[in-house]
């Protein structure tokens, strides 16, 4: 009897040690996606997918700012990264006890086709879309549906869309674009595109104009067009899924304009007033024509197209006419 107990205890001890060694030898942190030095285009979102050991906690920072996970399982953490234009730095730490047991870093470049240095692709960066031949990690395919299904053309509910499980955070904003609100993703994204699947055309304007017909007619009938309009790159300013800003803008109007027009970022602009030399404000007070909204660049300039070279609003013919639109006394 005593011998049997000793054998049982020995086997139990071996099983415990083997399990302990296995857990200790498993990687504390594996960053599945994205690869380092990846290029991001379009709306400026990237998924971050981590596989972690059960004994660690995770800290993620994007450009020094903490990022909360969008979805957690026992082994896999998902994060939705909202990138800034240019180079973005992602830092991931696996913590156990009071120390860091593993660390991963990634650099992602959010490309802008019109904005300064963000038009120039840094050396060593390349596009690495998730949905491409051989691109989706096999571990993801084990749990997620990565190919479009018949019901995705018109899903009965958001959760019925094959895209919803991974991309649901895209619509957790104040203003959601129509197709995204219905999760009819295939209305814009092509599942047969290659080498990357689910891409949209570049430039994207013809896709947008398929619904926004009135805008197309106005833009093309105007002799002067804003750069994003002229190049057909609507998603430079608009997030095609949704935004907390009106008109699905990526930033509030003044902040969005001065992302490219950095020389106007002082908050004052146009002509000098009297001996003080102060110029006209561009923010920080109500818009005289629409007091419910803040004064911004769009108070005087049309962000899409106009009959005048400076993209003036109100179909005016001169500076004086533009000024008198508000200062009419």
Q: Note whether residue 55 is domain-resident.
A: yes
Mean pLDDT by 10 residues, the chain (329 residues): 50 44 66 91 82 89 91 80 91 92 94 70 88 71 82 91 88 94 93 86 90 91 93 89 93 89 79 63 89 92 93 88 83
> How many domains does the chain divide into?
3
How much is the pLDDT for 186?
A: 93
Q: What angle do CA 202, 186, 130 make, to 5 degrees?
A: 65
H/E run at residue 213: helix 213-221
Q: What is the pTM of this model?
A: 0.76
How much is the pLDDT for 263?
A: 82
Q: Note whether residue 208 is domain-resident.
A: no
Cis ω for the linkage preceding 34 (within 30 of 0): yes
Q: Note whether residue 41 is domain-resident.
A: yes
80 and 151 fall within a common domain: no
139 and 120 fall within a common domain: no
How much is the pLDDT for 101?
A: 94
How much is the pLDDT for 117?
A: 67
145 and 225 fall within a common domain: no
Residue 272's domain comprises: 213-329
Q: Note whether residue 279 is domain-resident.
A: yes
262 and 192 fall within a common domain: no
75 and 182 fall within a common domain: no
221 and 329 fall within a common domain: yes
């Amino acid at each position: 009897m005593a011998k049997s107990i000793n054998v049982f205890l020995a086997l139990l001890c071996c099983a415990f040690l083997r399990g302990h060694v296995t857990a200790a030898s498993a990687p504390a942190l594996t960053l599945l996606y994205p690869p380092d030095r990846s290029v991001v285009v379009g709306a400026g979102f990237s998924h971050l997918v981590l596989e972690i050991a059960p004994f660690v906690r995770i800290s993620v920072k994007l450009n020094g700012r903490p990022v909360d996970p969008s979805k957690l399982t026992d082994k896999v953490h998902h994060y939705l990264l909202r990138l800034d234009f240019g180079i973005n730095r992602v830092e991931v730490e696996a913590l156990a006890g009071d120390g860091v047991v593993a660390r991963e870093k990634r650099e992602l470049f959010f490309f802008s086709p019109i904005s300064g240095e963000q038009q120039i692709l840094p050396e060593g960066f390349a596009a690495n879309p998730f949905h491409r031949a051989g691109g989706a990690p096999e571990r993801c395919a084990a749990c997620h549906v990565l190919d479009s299904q018949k019901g995705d053309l018109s899903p009965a509910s958001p959760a019925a869309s094959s895209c919803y499980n991974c991309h649901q955070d895209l619509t957790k904003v104040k203003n959601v674009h129509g197709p995204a609100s219905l999760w009819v993703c295939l209305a814009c994204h092509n599942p047969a595109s290659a080498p990357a699947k689910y891409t949209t055309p570049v430039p994207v304007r013809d896709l947008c104009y398929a619904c926004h017909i009135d805008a197309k007619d106005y833009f093309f009938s105007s002799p002067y067009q804003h750069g994003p309009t002229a190049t057909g790159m609507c998603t430079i300013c608009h997030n095609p899924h949704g935004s907390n800003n009106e008109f699905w803008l990526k930033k509030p109007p003044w902040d969005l304009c001065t992302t490219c027009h950095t020389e106007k970022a002082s908050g004052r602009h146009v002509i000098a007033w009297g001996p003080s030399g102060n110029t006209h404000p561009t923010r920080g007070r109500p818009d005289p024509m629409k007091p419910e909204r803040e004064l911004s660049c769009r108070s005087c300039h049309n962000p899409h197209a106009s009959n005048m070279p400076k993209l003036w609003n109100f179909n005016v013919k001169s500076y004086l006419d533009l000024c008198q639109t508000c200062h009419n006394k």
